[in-house]
Amino acid sequence: MSNHEEDVNSLAKKLGISQSALSQHLTRLYHSGIVKVRRQAQFRYYTCNHPGVLRILKTLSEVFDPDMDKSGSKVADGAMHDKP
């Protein structure tokens, strides 16, 4: 959810959990200051720009997706990968 708004329905589909369960989690994250909500008509759009959470997500993506470069973009096929 970093710098990208998502509504509860699309997030629930991506995560494979019920909308009501996700809504409860998002409410707790909102009250903790981790996510922000924008209301438009009957919809709520959530985003996360919490620096600590974004740092954790970046680290996880680097560990679990070695084709991701430091900017968050996929490395082109055939590109050289640094090996430790």
User: What's the pLDDT score for residue 35?
Assistant: 94
**Listed residue (14, 12, 13, 40) closest to 26, CA to CA:** 12
pLDDT in single tens digits along all 84 residues of the chain: 456 899 999 999 999 999 999 999 999 999 999 999 999 999 899 999 899 999 998 899 889 887 765 555 555 444 444 444
Domain coordinates in residue numbering, the chain: 6-64
1 burial via Cβ count (<10 Å: 0-12, 13-18, 19+): buried
Report the C-alpha gap between 73 and 13 in whole angstroms.
24
> CATH 1.10.8.50: does it fit domain 6-64?
no
User: What's the pLDDT score for residue 68?
Assistant: 62
- Whole-prediction pTM value? 0.66
